[in-house]
Amino acid sequence: MALNFPNPVRRFDAGRSCISFWGSDASLEIAFQIDIDALRKLGAAAGDDEAQMLAVFDSHRDAILKAATSAYGRHKTSYHRLTAADMTGRG
């Protein structure tokens, strides 16, 4: 089975400077985080508060999930942290 994202939940984590979200591969849950710096690059005009970062995530969800799928395809581990390089295809 391929990686999919049936759960739309995402969570802002100021302490880790990221947004966390989850995917599934068969019965395995795969945890992902995307750096706030990567989100800033996607939404250059966005501020740093939770609502603004979640809005950037939501408006770029397809690109983020594509980058997450690519990262998981390279290394099938249960955790991945996406950076700006992942969002530009250099990750």
> Is residue 1 situated within a structural domain?
no
pLDDT digits (tens, 9 = 90+) for 12-45: 999 999 999 999 998 899 999 999 999 988 886 6
In this structure, are residues 70 and 54 in contact, taking their beta carbons and an 8 Å threshold? no
In this structure, are residues 21 and 5 in contact, taking their beta carbons and an 8 Å threshold? yes
In this structure, are residues 81 and 35 in contact, taking their beta carbons and an 8 Å threshold? yes
Enclosing domain of residue 69? 10-87
**Confidence tier at 64 by pLDDT (50, 70, 90):** very high
**Confidence tier at 91 by pLDDT (50, 70, 90):** low
> Is residue 23 situated within a structural domain?
yes
Residues 6+ apart with CB under 8 A from 62: none
> Is residue 48 situated within a structural domain?
yes
Average pLDDT over residues 57-74: 95
Please report, for the domain that includes residue 70, its CATH number: 3.30.160.140
Question: How many domains does the chain fold into?
Answer: 1
> Is residue 51 situated within a structural domain?
yes
Question: Which position has the token pair 């994202």?
Answer: 5
Mean pLDDT over all residues of the chain?
A: 91
